[in-house]
Amino acid sequence: MELVKVHMTVNGEPVELDVKPYARLLDVLREDLALTGTKEGCGVGECGACTVLVDGENVNSCLVLASSMEGKSIVTVEGISSDESLHPIQQAFLDHHALQCGFCTPGLVMSVKALLDKDPAPSREAIKTAISGNLCRCTGYQQVIEAAEDAARAMRGEE
């Protein structure tokens, strides 16, 4: 197998990597780049724990070939907060008790981010749709939805 050279931007930093042609983006993020905030829960694109943003859209990184990411911009949960401050979505998750075991949380946060970046004032229904590909076994989603609503308000500069 021939390694594939890929140039991409990961959390704002340019990255050049030689990846196995069949490697999943998930593996490259976790193993090659040590970004272990992105989790694997199913490997078949159903649970959403591996959700990252590719050019602003949320995708399951277990169903993306790393080799196909040439020129793409990837954002993981590690890329949205700084050392000093949480992203408003993360703050809202804490404020609304929207996580318990936390394993699905990075994926949920990224799906909410994909939504709010496009739609700053989403309806409740739009939020539910946006997180419908992120399975959570702990929270029952209600506090996640409330957190998303609250984060939207915060990002719009209200309150």
Partner 1 sequence: MGQKNQRIDVLEKVLGKAKYVNDLKFPDVLHGAVVRCPHPHAKVISIDASAALAAEGVVTIVSAKDIPGIPCQPTHKPIFAVEPKYMGEGVAMVVAGTLEQAREAVRLVQVDYEVLPAVTTPEEALKPGAPLLHPNGNVLCHYQTGKGDVEAGFAEADHILVREYDTQRQEHMPIEPEAVVAVPEFQSMVVYAPTNSAYNVRQTVCETLGLPENRVSLRIPTIGGSFGGKNYDLAVMSSRAAVAATITGRPVRLVCTREESILEGTKRHPYHCRYQVGYKDDGTLTAIQVTILGDGGAYTSKSHPVATRSAIESCGPYVVPNAHTDLTFAYTNNLYSDSMRGFGSPQVDFSCEVVMDEVARELGMDPMEFRRKNHIRENDVSAVGQTMTCVSLGKCLARADEDFHWADRREAAKASRARRRGLGKVRGVGMALLHRGEAFGAAGQGLDTSAVSMLTNWDGSIVILTSVSEVGMGCHTMLVNVLCETLGVHRDRIVVCPVDTNYVPNSGATVATRTTVVVGNAMKNAAQQVRDKMSVIAAKELGVPAGRLEFKDEKIYDPADPEHFVTYLHLVQEIHAQGQNAYGHGWYTVTGLKYDRANGNGEAYQSYAYGVCMAEVEVDLATGQVSVEKFTAVHDVGHAFDKEEVKGQIDGGVSMGLGYALYEDLAIKDGEIRNRNFDRYLIATAMDMPEDLSPIVVEEPTNTGPYGARGLGEPTACAVAPAIVNAIADATGCYVRSLPADLEKVLKAARSGIEDRG
Partner 2 sequence: MLRYDYVRPASVEEACAFLLKTPGRSCPIAGCTDFLVQVREKSARWKDLQYVVDLSALPELSGIRVEDGIVHVGAMTTHSAAEHSPVLAEHAPLLAAACASVGSPQIRNRGTIGGAVANASPASDPMPVLIALEANALVQGPNGQRTIPMSDMIVKPGKTALAPDEIILGFSFPSVAHMRTVFLKLGRRKALSISRMNVSLVVHQDAEGVIDHVALAPGCVFAAPDRARKAEALLLGRRPDAALIDDAAKAVADEMIERTGVRWSTEYKQPVITALVRRALENGTEVAE
By the rule CB under 8 A, 143 interacts with partner 1: yes
Helix (H) or strand (E) holding 16: strand 13-19
Place of tokens 């408003």: 88
For the beta carbon of residue 137, count every other beta carbon within 10 angstroms.
Answer: 11
Q: Quick one: 20 or 153, whose CB is closer to partner 2?
A: 20
Binding positions for partner 2, rule: CB under 8 A? 1-2, 4, 20-22, 24, 43-46, 48, 51, 54, 57-60, 62-65, 67-68, 70, 111, 114, 128-130, 132-135
Q: Quick one: 99 or 110, whose CB is closer to partner 2?
A: 110
76 closest CA partner among 99, 54, 44, 91: 54
DSSP string, 105-157: HHHHHHHHHHHHHH-SS--HHHHHHHTTT---SSS-SHHHHHHHHHHHHHHTT
Stretch that binds partner 1, among 1-9, 53-61, 66-74, 129-137 (CB under 8 A): 129-137
By the rule CB under 8 A, 53 interacts with partner 1: no
Give the residues lining the site for partner 1 (CB under 8 A).
30, 34-44, 46-47, 49, 76-78, 81, 84-86, 90, 93-106, 109, 127-129, 131-145
